[in-house]
């Protein structure tokens, strides 16, 4: 009885050769997947860190813009005042707050009864959705009223904040102060601070603290006075005769 022989050139692979080929292909695939996955994770980490730093830089620039345009106005009606401008910086440990009037409002609607004046606040508040997380909030009201601490729109600037600390430079004491209150008549502080120092500490993706800081000048320290249609210097500025 004769056995059939495979035709010339049709010799196949043995089972061992197939298994070796599959093993090699699997190792190459795993290596490629690992490298691609690691690259994707690195890209996500770099992107997230960049976005986080951009968020902080944008917030500091906004704070700088608002504070550098801060002002006080004593041009109010004595019998029927319609608004009050203040600069109130309060020390609350790691969660400071500042409220003031600024010339940084942008009118977005045609015929809106608004100007470039606004009430601005910066403070730290609990996140409404994530328990234990605190965010840096900006409040802006496009209308000055008799309650300069409330009203307007609230915007989350920076998420997952660890500390927000402010200090104010006092020329007379030649030192930094943790509080500044122009509403306190007994403190003789009817001026804006010449410099404000900001320290913002956030948590990074690993839960480690990362600190940022800035120092801002306020050029218009003296309150605005008007009398007989002309500018009258404030009580701290001598009048040249």
pLDDT tens-digit readout, 13-59: 788 877 888 888 888 888 888 878 777 777 777 788 889 999 999 99
> CA 240, CA 28: separation in Å to the nearest integer?
85
Q: Write down the pLDDT at residue 189.
A: 66
d(CA 66, CA 213): 16
Output the pLDDT for position 157. 96
Instruction: Kindly tell me if the per-residue pLDDT of 233 is higher than 50.
Output: no
In the chain, where the domains are located: 51-231
User: CA nearest 83: which of 131, 119, 47?
Assistant: 119
* pLDDT greater than 50 at residue 79: yes
Q: Within a 10 A sphere around the Cβ of 232, how many other Cβ atoms?
A: 13
Alpha-carbon distance 136 to 127, whole Å? 10
* pLDDT tens-digit map of 141-197: 998 999 999 999 999 999 999 999 999 999 888 999 999 999 887 666 689 999 999
Report whether 237 contacts 222 (CB < 8 A).
yes
Rounded to an integer, the average pLDDT of 64-74 is 94
The three-state secondary structure class of 49 is helix
Tell me: pLDDT of 238 over 50. no
What is residue 128's predicted lDDT score, i.e. its pLDDT?
A: 92
What digits encode the pLDDT tens for the residues 203-218? Answer: 998 889 999 999 999 9
Least confident of 3-12, 32-41, 73-82: 3-12
Query: Would you give the end-to-end CA distance of the chain in angstroms?
Result: 135
| 166 token code pair | 């402010």
* Contact (Cβ atoms closer than 8 angstroms) between residue 59 and residue 157: yes
* Gap between the Cα atoms of 163 and 202, Å rounded: 7
Average pLDDT over residues 76-99: 87
Q: What is the C-alpha to C-alpha distance for residues 101 and 87, in angstroms, rounded to an integer?
A: 7
| Mean pLDDT of all residues in 110-122 | 88
Distance CA 216, CA 122 (A): 15
Residue 239, pLDDT > 50, answer no
């Amino acid at each position: 009885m004769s056995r059939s022989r495979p035709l010339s050139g049709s010799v196949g692979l043995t089972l061992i050769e197939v298994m070796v080929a599959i093993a090699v292909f699997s190792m190459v695939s795993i290596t490629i997947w690992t490298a691609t996955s690691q690259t994707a994770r690195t890209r996500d980490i770099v992107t997230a860190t960049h976005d986080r730093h951009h968020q902080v830089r944008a917030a500091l620039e906004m704070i700088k813009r608002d504070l550098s345009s801060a002002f006080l106005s004593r041009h109010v009606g004595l019998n029927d005042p319609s608004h009050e401008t203040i600069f109130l910086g309060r020390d609350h440990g790691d969660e400071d707050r500042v409220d003031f009037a600024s010339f940084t409002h942008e009118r977005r609607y045609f015929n809106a009864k608004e100007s470039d004046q606004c009430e601005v606040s910066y403070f730290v508040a609990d996140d409404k959705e994530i328990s234990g997380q605190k965010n840096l909030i900006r409040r802006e009201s496009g209308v000055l009223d008799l309650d300069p601490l409330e009203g307007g729109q609230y915007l989350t600037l920076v998420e997952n904040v660890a500390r927000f600390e402010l200090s104010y430079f006092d020329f007379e004491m030649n030192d930094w102060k943790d509080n500044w209150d122009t509403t306190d008549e007994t403190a003789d502080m009817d001026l804006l601070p010449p410099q404000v120092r900001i320290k913002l500490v956030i948590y990074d993706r690993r839960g480690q603290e990362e600190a940022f800081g800035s120092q801002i000048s306020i050029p218009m320290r003296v309150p605005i006075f008007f009398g007989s249609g002309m500018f009258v210097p404030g009580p701290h500025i001598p009048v040249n005769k």
